Chains A and B, each alone.
Chain A
Amino acid sequence: MLFLRLAVRNVFRNRMRTTVALLAIAAGCAALIVNGGVIYNIFTELREDAIHGRHGHLQITRAGYGEHHLREPGRYLIPAEETGQILELLRDVPQVEHISRQRQFSGMIASGDRYVAFVGIGVDPDQDAAFSRHVTLQRGDPLSSDDPYGMICGLGLADKFAGDPGVVVTLLTNTDSGALNAVDVRLRGVFEGGMKAFDDWTLKLPIAAVEELLLDDRTEKIVVLLEETEQVPVVQVMLEERFAAQGLDLEVRSWRKLALFHNQTVSLFKRELDIIKLIIATIVILGIANTIGMSILERRAELATLRALGLRRGAIARLLVGEALLTGLLGGLLGIVLGAVIARVATTIGIPFPSPPGSTRPFLGGVDFVPSIALSSFLLSVLSTLAASFLPVWRATRRPIAEILRG
């Protein structure tokens, strides 16, 4: 206890220096927490965008679809009777919140004398809003099951054929057998999807109309949203087992496998976060090493006295490292509080971010206070402070006692 008391009192004997050291550690720790919090916030936005705007939590397709459908699209479609079986099975899963059948197709829009290429997605009109988080309707109305031939399209695509809500156009496409088919549809609304390429080419249509256009009632994919993203692994395994038990030859892919942009962005930012950690740890080590060095230098006679009294070098090192540990712990705790406050304030005010690559919309971000990031920042602060103490401590315990006492 006395040794601990000595360490505590030594830490606080020079209050100004200790305050500066604590602030340096706390600033480093808070910087890590805030930087990690901003990136986590972006990750969350990207993740939710990927899930609720593009991929859903899970996608159910014919086995082999992921790898081969581009080469042989017609071969990897789910027959209507199997689709019904799957939908029935999905409705029995309590975690499943939304289900939408989808079918992608492409063709031309004929509007007056204009012919415009498009990429279409046949969707369940009543479920589409849940899968379109990134989509903002700019004009007109959303899809509706009451309007089986009512479509919506991206802003850029609407501009190409000068389409305003209410206009009737003809969609032309090739069926699976290669025949040309057409259907008249009415433009219900114009959306902005956040990504220019998406807005310039995409339209959405109730899947029943798409089936009529393609003369094919097979489903390309069934997209599922769960109550919580964390439920994905459990439900994925459960569905795979149930499909296998019923002899359905399907593959269930999670959003994580499908969201390539999200995955690439996350790994890029994680690497950036590691570099920031390294830089901040280095700054803390350099700053604190000087403070600890000064503290030890001033107390060299005291430390030599302790050694003269019979304390081994190891005991002196334990005392000094203990003081550094205490400083690191206090600085780290202060850093967590500081980080939490900054995160709170920044989130309340909001951080305006410019449009990310490929997107057309700037967004207002925040700083998430993430316990795991706070803990790792705290540990890194403590370890940096300990690392900073090693050289001064080593020096302090190596010099001959008599030489120090002679002054």
Chain B
Amino acid sequence: MIRLQEVSRSFGEGAARAVALDGINLQVEAGEFVAVAGPSGSGKTSLLNIIGVLDAPDTGTVELDGQDVGALGEPEQADLRLAKIGFVFQRFNLIPVLSAAENVELALLFRRDVSAGERRERVRTSLERVGLGDKGHRRPAELSGGEQQRVAVARALAAKPVVVLADEPTANLDHETGLPVIELMRDLNREHGTTFLYATHDPELIRLADRVIWLRDGRQVEGDA
């Protein structure tokens, strides 16, 4: 479902050039619950950005659901993200002026294949799945950090994506709050077969994964390589 071949990415030029990813080859199948692990600066975020079509590799190819994303133009890449990829960000990235339910609904607004009725239904069920069925009217500032991240998970799930990419989803949460978020993702993966790729360097969270992709200095040191 996700296939990366010889993917490299670097930032800066000349002496300031920093290699973020160096010749990454990996494959993730549908329904997998995969952790991308490694120390800070190992290339976890760069890898998720490239899989999530938020960034393009300097070299190599990325295939998502059988589609070579490098061959797509900017509008088609946006459509691909809209239909097939869900994101959970480290800092939640909810829209502060919208309620939890509106935040979830926003991602569906531009889906032509989702009617208004279905949109409302998906918002309701997504919030219920993450245990926030009764807090849909609250704005992010009125929710705890853990609850905000659950809204972000609900937002990612509402689009029924083929993969959810979570970049250090617990980094801004304490251990008590963070662990349940990953457990929630784990449950959703088991119950609904949603594919999850999450970046973390927390050993306890890494242990919950079916498979771990280890990165160090932009290179894959263990896992599929």
Give Cα distance in the complex from A302 to B91, angstroms: 11
Give Cα distance in the complex from A314 to B78, angstroms: 11
Which residues of chain B from 84 to 137 have any CB-CB distance to chain A below 8 Å in the complex? 85, 87, 89, 91, 93, 95-98, 102, 105-107, 109-110
Least CB separation from A407: chain B residue = B91
In the complex, A245 has a CB within 8 A of chain B:
no
Verify A9–B78 contact, CB threshold 8 A. no
Verify A9–B83 contact, CB threshold 8 A. no
In the complex, A395 has a CB within 8 A of chain B:
no
Chain B residues whose C-beta falls within 8 Å of the C-beta of A330 in the assembled complex: none
Given the interface contacts A2-B109, A9-B98, does A307 sit within 8 Å of B78 by beta carbon? yes
Which residue of B74, B91, B97, B105 is within 8 Å of A313 (Cβ)?
B74
Chosen A-B contacts, 7 in total, with CB atoms closer than 8 Å, are A2-B98, A10-B97, A301-B91, A305-B93, A306-B106, A405-B54, A406-B45
Give Cα distance in the complex from A306 to B107, angstroms: 8
Given contact pairs A310-B81, A310-B83, A310-B159, a sample of 10 additional A-B residue pairs in the complex whose CB atoms are under 8 Å apart:
A5-B102, A306-B106, A309-B81, A309-B82, A309-B155, A310-B78, A311-B82, A312-B110, A313-B75, A405-B54
Minimum CB–CB distance from A395 to chain B (whole Å) comes to 16
Minimum CB–CB distance from A319 to chain B (whole Å) comes to 11
Least CB separation from A402: chain B residue = B55
Chain A residues whose C-beta falls within 8 Å of the C-beta of B43 in the assembled complex: none
Which residues of chain A from 372 to 403 have any CB-CB distance to chain B below 8 Å in the complex? 400-402
In the complex, B79 has a CB within 8 A of chain A:
yes
Which residue of A302, A312, A401 is within 8 Å of B95 (Cβ)?
A302
Which residues of chain A from 296 to 337 have any CB-CB distance to chain B below 8 Å in the complex? 301-302, 305-315
In the complex, B172 has a CB within 8 A of chain A:
no
Verify B96–A312 contact, CB threshold 8 A. no
Interface string of B40-78 (1 = CB under 8 A from A): 000001100100101100000000000000000011001
Chain B residues whose C-beta falls within 8 Å of the C-beta of A6 in the assembled complex: 95, 97-98, 102, 106
Chain B residues whose C-beta falls within 8 Å of the C-beta of A302 in the assembled complex: 93, 95-96
Verify A401–B54 contact, CB threshold 8 A. yes
Verify B107–A309 contact, CB threshold 8 A. yes
Which residues of chain B from 148 to 170 have any CB-CB distance to chain A below 8 Å in the complex? 155, 159
In the complex, A91 has a CB within 8 A of chain B:
no
Interface size class of A (residues with CB under 8 A): 20 to 34
Minimum CB–CB distance from A386 to chain B (whole Å) comes to 22
Chain A residues whose C-beta falls within 8 Å of the C-beta of B110 in the assembled complex: 310-312, 315
Least CB separation from B46: chain A residue = A402
6 shortest interchain CB distances as A-B pairs: A310-B82, A402-B55, A9-B97, A305-B93, A310-B81, A402-B49
Chain B residues whose C-beta falls within 8 Å of the C-beta of A310 in the assembled complex: 78-83, 85, 107, 110, 159
In the complex, A13 has a CB within 8 A of chain B:
yes
Verify A312–B98 contact, CB threshold 8 A. no
In the complex, A353 has a CB within 8 A of chain B:
no
Chain B residues whose C-beta falls within 8 Å of the C-beta of A3 in the assembled complex: 109
Give Cα distance in the complex from A312 to B49, angstroms: 17
Least CB separation from A307: chain B residue = B78
Chain A residues whose C-beta falls within 8 Å of the C-beta of B49 in the assembled complex: 402, 405
Chain B residues whose C-beta falls within 8 Å of the C-beta of A305 in the assembled complex: 87, 89, 93, 95
Which residue of A301, A309, A313, A400 is within 8 Å of B106 (Cβ)?
A309
Give Cα distance in the complex from A307 to B109, angstroms: 13
Give Cα distance in the complex from A75 to B120, angstroms: 89
Give Cα distance in the complex from A312 to B102, angstroms: 19
Chain B residues whose C-beta falls within 8 Å of the C-beta of A309 in the assembled complex: 81-82, 87, 106-107, 155
Verify A308–B87 contact, CB threshold 8 A. yes
Give Cα distance in the complex from A6 to B91, angstroms: 20
Which residues of chain A from 35 to 62 have any CB-CB distance to chain B below 8 Å in the complex? none
